[in-house]
Homo-oligomer: A and B are copies of this chain.
Amino acid sequence: MAPNEKGPVQLSIEQKVTEDMEPSFLEVVNESHLHAHHAAMKGVTNKETHFKLTVVSEKFQGKTLMQRHRMIYGLLGDELQQGLHALTLKTKTQTSKLSFPFLYFYNMVNIGIVGVGLVGSELLVQLKATGAKRLNVVGMTTSKKMVVSNTSYTSLDLTQWKTDLQEQGVEANLGVFAKYLSDSPDHSIIVDCTASDAVAELYPSWLQLGLSVVTPNKKGFSGPLSLYRSIESLAGNLNGTGKAPFAYYESTVGAGLPVLNTLADLVRTGDKVEKIEGIFSGTLSFLFNNFSSLSGENKGTFSENVKVAKELGYTEPDPRDDLNGMDVARKVTICGRLAGVDLDLTTLPVENIVPGPLQSVASADEFMAKLPEFDDHFAKLNEEAKKENQVLRCVGLVDVKGGQSGVKLLRYPGSHPFASLQGSDNIIKFTTEYFPNGLIIQGAGAGSAVTSFGIFSDILKIQGRVE
């Protein structure tokens, strides 16, 4: 078959859909070549396996998305048996568009929130406060209960969602939740506000349903490379197609700080990223900014500073979960992968600041009780640095060329921006061909307000991109 010539399957699809659906608009595009490299297509020589159909028909009136899809698939039983592999369907009614001219302004987008703890609740507050245009929160779920809106996908009442979830919530079921969202004729975004591995593993299935994913959950992007690759291949912003669905995860690194979006811009415009270096943990930032500074102020021993951080709520319940560097390692992995380096948590060198003998003690209390025994160790490191006019900082490093990526306790001279960091700020520095002296982003990198800001920004970016 010559390029661009219609094959028998395409002609048959066009004929059957035309006869049965009486469409006012029909577009059938053979996309088989785009899928030829997929594992499932190995050995298949058939050039008519994947099609994209856009069908505008009054016969869709009053039908859900799934019903519309069934109508089309129902027509093509023979073709599906004879080698047609998959259809991408756009099913619309003309009158729906004609009746709502406002559709031509910002596209209506549905939002479903998984996990309504601190961050999820704050996101609802921000969405409500801005009266965000044409963003409808149509579902929310905890690990136990969920509520979804009606088949018209009208927004849930954001003034009393807690009560509604409590009183009207049904048993949580993420499969049902995702299907409800994907049945909408409008684009839907699932916002994962959990920190769950199990939820992250569902992203590929959600993307396959056409749902975009926005999340501060690091697991899907720093976990197994296979999961990341799967998400990458399905999300239009990562696979290079630029088409929905998308996966945006700015708030996984530095919360709302524009870290990943900036990195993506650098990569896409052909800049050569050489190094990404940063203080990625608010906890470790606070700890070392206080413990190791050149200003001369003595803010106490290492263990005293850990104690203060714990009391201020800056640490995990067991501070070793911060000091072990794993949270930083996840962020390094995420940045590295976006910069084209296949980092893996299982092989990334991570310096655990927890003194060896304390890594295995049973409880957080015991750890805190014994930590002062190691103050001399940290004081010595600090003094050695100070002698050279340097400070200690716990940093994450992506070394694109040199292979020195990892999490490390390093020294920085007093003139370095990392040395004058204050409070619990994050700071991330990109060293690239365009920015040989570094592009630096600094600010609060933890907390529900800034995390939610990052999520909200991602949602708006997706809304601006969907047709």
Using Cβ atoms and an 8 Å threshold, which residues of chain B touch A126?
Answer: 269-270
Nearest-CB distance from A313 to chain B (Å)?
Answer: 17
Chain B residue at minimum C-beta to C-beta distance from A438? B443
A444 to B423, CA, bound (A): 25
Question: In residues 232-266 of chain A, which contact B (Cβ within 8 Å)?
Answer: 237, 240-243, 256-258, 261-262, 265-266
Q: Which of A27, A30, A241, A439 has the most CB of B within 10 A?
A: A439
Given contacts A106-B241, A417-B442, A442-B442, contact A101 B30 (CB under 8 A): yes
What is the oligomeric copy number?
2
Using Cβ atoms and an 8 Å threshold, which residues of chain B touch A265?
Answer: 258, 453, 457, 460
Given contacts A104-B29, A240-B106, A440-B442, contact A420 B415 (CB under 8 A): yes
Using Cβ atoms and an 8 Å threshold, which residues of chain B touch A261?
Answer: 258, 261
Taking residues whose C-beta sits less than 8 angstroms from the other chain, chain A's interface range is 35 or more
A146 to B270, CA, bound (A): 27
Residue A162 at the chain B interface, CB threshold 8 Å:
no
Question: In residues 81-125 of chain A, which contact B (Cβ within 8 Å)?
Answer: 94, 97-101, 103-107
A420 in contact with B423 (CB, 8 Å): no
Residue A449 at the chain B interface, CB threshold 8 Å:
yes
B457 in contact with A105 (CB, 8 Å): no
Pick from B26, B101, B453: contact of A271, CB below 8 A. Answer: B453
A133 in contact with B240 (CB, 8 Å): yes
Nearest-CB distance from A427 to chain B (Å)?
Answer: 8
Shortest Cβ-Cβ A-B pairs, 10 listed: A25-B25, A439-B443, A130-B270, A440-B442, A269-B456, A265-B457, A106-B242, A29-B101, A105-B241, A4-B99
